[in-house]
């Protein structure tokens, strides 16, 4: 044991005057009396009980000395020595979704708060500590502080979030544990239930697992969409995880939230672990909001229900404008018959597909530029293209194309208008695919003649038509029916996303950090999509995961508090004894 204020141990010298007071005798004053025989009897009784009185006074002296010593030791702030090296503490509390599983007051977050409060109390302001939450990100609830009051307030403010532990958070925590963050050398203690996203932790992180395994089952993968080639038939893809130790029977209920009707009620058998993925076909499915429920009794209902959207089968009507229309029309018919999003229409067209100079006012996909057009400022002779080079990596128009396999036969030297986005060019710098907006109209120009080099017969022809049409109509990011919480999506230019809680995000990346329906608003259209937990690590609440590796860490009330309590008890006992003596 060490003392943080050893100078106050000089206070033990106060024991000397305390003892002197007890041994101090008061000399009685002499007075005359005419009834000595009565006082003689009193003196005889007093003499017979003198030994008992001395013992009683000695016991009171010992009690008071012990109380005074306890107070002095408490003031000197004793601390029990352990193997700790005295580094600042970084206590990290897991706030991922699984920490809210279990009965009230026995959840992982409840146990973590209790443990963190015990660590703060034991520090007693004698050491600095920082507190951080650990989920989709690593966020500090309190930076280094030796104030127990501030630290306890930070601990009590921690709440779980409906997201799993992310790779970003794990990587950041590893940096703090290795000292690579530049913020100092911490002793890192992670308070967690041990479930989900804890693989690959730095060996310097001391893991303190809390709580017992929980028997639970939940949906961990899901999607819902139209089945190509089948009219009004949708397929629901799902997978279930179970941490029950035995085989369980449950029901999977799929219902349309718009009509309230149950489309399927399917009995399912749950083996421990991950079940095989399944696809459930729904005939005559109606677009709109759908709810899937796994009907089973467990202590973690958050992964038992999914809210998702089956979008309308909205096609893009395309108008063909070219000298040779046959192959363009066959391409659109193939998409239409296969249940794709493109259909041929000469009326109310939303997109133009053609060759030469584009006419009309719709967005256009143009092959073989020819003639005069605002989408090129000069047009020269044919050039030979030996190799195509991607300029904008990952662009939606190019992401499914193999440019090396595309024959850019019939390409011509041309100059795109100012502001055009060059997606691909030749080895000599000739633009091959670019996007330009002119006079309120947008076009994607493909610098090749599709009638040459058998490009109409190439598999890249329908791929390019499909991806370019989706991009021009802002449909390349057709949203999934439901996403796992924690997923980050990008708000398209000019769009906003409204969260289930009502918060509106106007631009940039958006994290789906809560379950429910999100709304994407774009000019002229609104798209809904769902978010749900959907993470095996947050549903398999068994005894897997990292083992306890935390070394001893002091928790609970400090020794000084116990010494003060002991001193108060001693003083109370001595006061009772003194009171009884007074009463005889």
What are the distances in angstroms from CA 549 to CA 206, 356, 440? 5, 70, 63
Q: What global pTM score does this model have?
A: 0.68
Looking at the DSSP assignment, which residues form a beta bridge with residue 294?
A: 252
> pLDDT tens digits for 34-88?
665 556 665 555 554 444 455 556 777 777 778 888 787 777 766 665 545 667 8
Select the highest-mean-pLDDT range: 3-17, 33-47, 454-468: 454-468
Range 265-294 average pLDDT: 92
Range 114-140 average pLDDT: 89
Kindly tell me if the per-residue pLDDT of 28 is higher than 60.
Answer: yes
Kindly tell me if the per-residue pLDDT of 556 is higher than 70.
Answer: no
Determine whether 450 is exposed, middle or buried from the number of CB atoms within 10 Å of its CB (0-12, 13-18, 19+): buried
Kindly tell me if the per-residue pLDDT of 526 is higher than 70.
Answer: yes
Range 257-278 average pLDDT: 91
Select the highest-mean-pLDDT range: 119-123, 177-181, 262-266: 262-266
Range 460-488 average pLDDT: 87
Q: So what's the pLDDT on residue 81?
A: 53
Reduced to 3 states (helix: H, G, I; strand: E, B; else coil), residue 350 is: coil
553: CB partners within 8 A, 6+ apart: 84, 89, 119, 189, 206
User: Parallel, antiparallel, or unpaired: how do β-strands 441-446 and 364-367 relate?
Assistant: parallel
Q: So what's the pLDDT on residue 456?
A: 86
Range 99-119 average pLDDT: 92
User: Parallel, antiparallel, or unpaired: how do β-strands 288-295 and 278-282 relate?
Assistant: unpaired
Least confident of 125-129, 510-514, 532-536: 125-129
CA 434 – CA 73 distance, rounded (Å): 81
Kindly tell me if the per-residue pLDDT of 170 is higher than 90.
Answer: yes
Q: Are the beta carbons of 431 and 425 closer than 8 angstroms?
A: yes
Q: Say which residue the tokens 């708060």 belong to.
A: 113
Least confident of 21-30, 252-261, 270-279, 370-379: 21-30
Range 549-554 average pLDDT: 76
Range 307-313 average pLDDT: 88
Select the highest-mean-pLDDT range: 161-175, 333-347, 450-464, 561-575: 161-175
Kindly tell me if the per-residue pLDDT of 271 is higher than 90.
Answer: yes
- How large a percentage of the chain has pLDDT more than 90? 48
CA 357 – CA 301 distance, rounded (Å): 59
Q: So what's the pLDDT on residue 51?
A: 45
The structural domains of the chain, ordered by start, are 2-26+35-81+563-582 (no CATH), 88-212 (3.40.50.410), 227-308 (2.60.40), 316-472 (3.40.50.880), 482-532 (no CATH)
Kindly tell me if the per-residue pLDDT of 5 is higher than 90.
Answer: no
Reduced to 3 states (helix: H, G, I; strand: E, B; else coil), residue 321 is: strand
126: CB partners within 8 A, 6+ apart: 4, 77, 79, 146, 558
* Joined tokens for residue 184: 């100092």
Kindly tell me if the per-residue pLDDT of 547 is higher than 90.
Answer: no
Q: So what's the pLDDT on residue 52?
A: 46
Under the banding of pLDDT at 50, 70 and 90, the label for residue 166 is very high
* Joined tokens for residue 280: 């459930």
CA 263 – CA 253 distance, rounded (Å): 8
- Using CA atoms in the order 239, 242, 248, 251, what is the torsion angle rounded to 10 degrees? -40
CA 160 – CA 98 distance, rounded (Å): 8
Greater confidence (539 vs 492) lies with 539
Average pLDDT, rounded, for the chain:
85
User: Parallel, antiparallel, or unpaired: how do β-strands 217-226 and 234-242 relate?
Assistant: antiparallel
Range 553-560 average pLDDT: 66
């Amino acid at each position: 044991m060490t003392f943080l204020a050893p100078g106050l141990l000089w206070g033990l010298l106060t024991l000397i005057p305390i003892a002197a007071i007890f041994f101090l005798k008061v000399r009685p004053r002499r007075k005359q009396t005419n009834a000595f025989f009565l006082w003689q009897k009193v003196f005889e009784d007093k003499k017979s009980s003198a030994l008992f009185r001395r013992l009683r006074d000695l016991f009171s002296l010992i009690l008071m000395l012990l109380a005074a010593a306890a107070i002095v030791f408490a003031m000197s702030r004793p601390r029990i020595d352990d193997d700790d090296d005295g580094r600042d503490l970084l206590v990290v509390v897991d706030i991922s979704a699984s920490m809210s599983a279990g009965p009230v007051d026995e959840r992982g977050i409840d146990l973590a708060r209790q443990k963190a409060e015990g660590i703060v109390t034991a520090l007693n302001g004698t050491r600095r500590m920082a507190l951080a939450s650990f989920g989709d990100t690593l966020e500090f609830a309190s930076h280094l502080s030796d104030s127990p009051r501030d630290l306890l307030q930070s601990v009590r403010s921690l709440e779980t979030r409906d997201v799993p532990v992310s790779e970003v958070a794990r990587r950041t925590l590893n940096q703090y544990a290795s000292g690579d963050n530049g913020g100092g050398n911490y002793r890192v203690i992670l308070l967690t239930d041990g479930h989900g996203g804890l693989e690959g932790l730095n060996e310097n992180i001391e893991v303190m697992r809390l709580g017992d395994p929980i028997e639970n089952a939940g949906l961990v993968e899901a999607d819902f969409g139209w089945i190509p080639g089948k009219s009004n038939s949708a397929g629901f893809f799902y997978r279930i995880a179970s941490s029950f130790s035995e085989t369980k029977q449950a029901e999977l209920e799929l219902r349309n939230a718009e009509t309230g009707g149950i489309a399927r009620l399917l009995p399912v058998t749950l083996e421990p672990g991950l079940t095989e993925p399944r696809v459930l076909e729904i005939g005559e499915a109606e677009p709109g909001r759908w709810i899937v429920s796994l009907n089973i009794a467990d202590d973690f209902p958050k992964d038992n229900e999914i809210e998702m959207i089956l979008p309308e089968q909205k096609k893009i009507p395309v108008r063909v404008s070219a000298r040779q229309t046959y192959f363009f029309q066959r391409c659109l018919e193939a998409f239409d018959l296969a249940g794709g999003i493109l259909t041929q229409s000469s009326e109310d067209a939303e997109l133009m597909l053609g060759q030469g100079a584009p006419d009309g006012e719709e967005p256009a996909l143009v092959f073989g530029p020819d003639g005069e057009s605002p989408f090129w400022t000069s047009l020269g002779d044919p050039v030979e293209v030996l190799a195509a080079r991607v300029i904008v990596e990952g662009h939606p128009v190019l992401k499914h194309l193999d440019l090396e396999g595309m024959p850019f036969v019939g390409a011509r030297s041309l100059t795109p208008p100012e502001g055009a986005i060059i997606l691909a060019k030749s080895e000599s710098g000739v633009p091959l695919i670019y996007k330009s907006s002119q006079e309120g109209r947008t076009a994607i120009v493909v610098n090749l003649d599709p009638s040459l080099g058998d490009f109409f017969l190439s598999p890249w022809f329908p791929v390019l038509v499909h991806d370019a049409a989706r991009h021009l109509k802002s449909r390349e990011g057709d949203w999934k029916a439901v996403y796992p919480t924690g997923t980050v999506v990008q708000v398209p230019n000019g769009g906003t996303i409204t969260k289930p809680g009502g918060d509106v995000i106007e631009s940039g990346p958006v994290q789906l950090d809560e379950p429910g329906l999100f709304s994407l608003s774009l000019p002229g259209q609104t798209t809904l999509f769902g978010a749900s937990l959907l993470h095996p690590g947050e549903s398999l609440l068994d005894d897997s995961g990292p083992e306890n590796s935390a070394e001893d860490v002091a928790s609970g009330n400090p020794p000084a508090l116990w010494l003060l309590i002991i001193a108060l008890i001693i003083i109370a006992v001595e006061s009772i004894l003194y009171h009884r003596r007074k009463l005889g």
